[in-house]
Amino acid sequence: MAARRAVVTGAAGFVGSHLCTRLLDDGFHVVALDNFLTGAADNVAHLLERDGFRLIRADVTDYIHVTGNVDVVLHFASPASPIDYLELPIETMKVGSIGTMHALGLAKEKQARFLLASTSETYGDPLIHPQPETYWGNVNPVGPRGVYDEAKRFAEALTMAYRRTGKVNTSIVRIFNTFGPRMRPNDGRAIPTFIRQALTGNPITVAGDGTQTRSICYVDDLVDGVVRLSASELAGPINIGNPHELTMLALAEWIRDLADSQSPITFVPRPVDDPSVRQPDITLARRELGWEPQVPLETGLKQTIDWFREHPEMIEQIPVPAEALINRR
Ligand code: NAD
């Protein structure tokens, strides 16, 4: 029997690279599309020798063309860290809108299952806590973060439009803060920032007074939820995240301890429209997908810290040029 074939957009990013690994482990052939805007070919370099893996440089806002059959399209392309989407506001809106349309178009053409990587940011600064999928959110469309939040909200609406017109078998996952190896140390997200600062002995910079909360999920757990959703017939949206909620100050102190660091903790201004609380209600994922996080946070944090220790070049930020890796095939 021919192998099932998956197309992953944003495959060379943090989450995309882990997703590709899991899909290959599950027996899929994977067509990995990325324009390396915020990702890097190094992230999937370890997959290039594996059977059934193809890496293609493609900007999904231009067009998406894939030959042959496709069973599932997983649309993960998008800048995702606040630093990235604040620097790349137009690219972020284009990939959420035009890129999503092209990814849906591919799924329609191939009669493939489609999965949109949406985000807990669709809930904005939530007025309901924890957040169930039925909550419509509290997003400022004209604030600086609106480019990401509204692009994802548009992407969700577009996905539902393709579903309702019967054109595509779609699903939407709302991903809560996820962490793990291959995050960029300078991408501005709290966990890689704290780890980088702890490992280099620099002050750990906590935004505001550090009482704002997040719920963080190890990447292997997220990928498992994504795979379960794509294998189901559910439409979603469905929250995938770890409900373990903690303050940013507690997270900074925990990382400092785990990294065996003496870094002092300092406080910096909070970004505009930074959510005060964030916690997924995962009742639906538990019931419909039999999913809940399995990796203890301490284990995940230790693995991530170890990975940063083993990759000091990441802290220096010297990626291998994409061409060097793509041309090996
Ligand atoms: P990332 O920046 O590491 O990965 C995104 C990838 O998309 C990068 O490799 C980038 O080069 C690629 N990309 C961007 N624009 C593109 C385009 N026009 N054409 C082709 N490729 C393009 O971010 P991530 O953390 O891995 O996030 C992946 C997805 O998951 C995003 O859609 C993000 O919104 C979603 N998500 C992530 C989190 C999280 O905590 N990591 C939380 C919620 C949602």
CATH code at position 147: 3.40.50.720
309 within some domain: no
Residue 238 pLDDT exceeds 70: yes
Domain count, the chain: 1
What is the DSSP annotation of 153-169? HHHHHHHHHHHHTTS-E
34 CA distance to ligand 1 middle (Å): 9
Considering only CA atoms, which residue is closest to atom 27 of ligand 1?
A: 80
Q: Is the dihedral of CA 55, 310, 181, 94 positive or negative?
A: negative
What is the position in ligand 1's atom list of the atom closest to the CA of 43?
9
Which residue among 9, 15, 92 has the greatest number of ligand 1 atoms within 8 angstroms of its CB, and so is best to mutate? 15
Determine the distance separating the centroid of ligand 1 and the alpha carbon of 116, expressed in angstroms. 11
Q: How far apart are the CA of 1 and the centre of ligand 1, in A?
A: 32
Cβ neighbour number for residue 107 with a 10 Å cutoff: 27
Residue 308 has pLDDT above 90, yes or no: yes
pLDDT digits (tens, 9 = 90+) for 30-52: 999 999 999 999 999 999 999 99
Q: Is residue 184 part of a domain?
A: no
User: Which value, in Å, is the radius of gyration of the alpha carbons in the chain?
Assistant: 19
> Within a domain: residue 255?
no
Ligand 1 contact, 295 CB (< 6 A): no
Is residue 208 in a domain? Answer: no
Asked whether residue 185 is domain-assigned, the answer is no
Residue bearing tokens 């209600």: 281
What is the rounded end-to-end Cα distance, in angstroms, of the chain?
25
Is 23 a domain residue?
yes
Taking alpha carbons only, the member of 73, 97, 92 closest to residue 16 is: 73
Cis peptide before 82 (omega within 30 of 0): no
Amino acid identity, position 160: M
Pairing of strands 238-240, 217-218: unpaired
290: left (phi over 0), alpha (psi -120 to 50) or beta: left
Cβ(79)–Cβ(92) under 8 Å? yes
Gap between the Cα atoms of 238 and 109, Å rounded: 25
The CB of 37 under 6 Å from ligand 1? The reply is: yes
Verify whether ligand 1 is closer than 6 Å to residue 178 (CB atom). Answer: yes
**Average pLDDT of the residues in 261-280:** 89
Ligand 1 pocket mutation pick from 14, 78, 93, 186 by most atoms within 8 angstroms of CB: 78
Per-residue b or e along 150-167, where b marks 16 or more CB atoms closer than 10 Å to that residue's CB: bbbbebbebbbebbeeee
Q: Which two tokens stand for residue 266?
A: 């300092």
Residue 87 per-residue DSSP state: H
Model confidence at 194: pLDDT above 80: yes
Q: For the residues 103-130, what does the mean pLDDT come to? A: 96
Q: Which of 213, 237, 220 is nearest to 130 (CA)?
A: 213
* Residue with tokens 């993960």, as numbered in its chain: 76
* pTM for this model (two decimals): 0.94
**pLDDT confidence band for 277 (50 / 70 / 90):** confident
Residue 257: inside a domain: no
Domain that holds residue 138: 5-179+217-243+277-294+319-324
Q: Is the pLDDT of residue 322 over 50?
A: no
H or E segment at 218? strand 217-218
Tell me the average pLDDT of the chain: 93
Quote the pLDDT of residue 316. Answer: 62
Pair of tokens at residue 43: 């992230």
DSSP 100: H
Residue 65 counted as domain residue: yes
Q: Mean of the pLDDT values across residues 194-199?
A: 95
Tokens of 5: 């074939």
Q: What is the distance in A from the centroid of ligand 1 to the CA of 264?
A: 31
Q: Is the CB of 215 under 6 A from ligand 1?
A: no
123 tagged catalytic: no
How many C-beta atoms lie closer than 10 Å to residue 90's C-beta? 9
Beta strands 113-119 and 169-175: pairing type? parallel
Q: Is 280 in the pocket of ligand 1 (CB under 6 A)?
A: no
Question: Which of 100, 77, 99, 82 is closest to 14 using CA atoms?
Answer: 77
85, 148, 162, 218: the catalytic one is 148
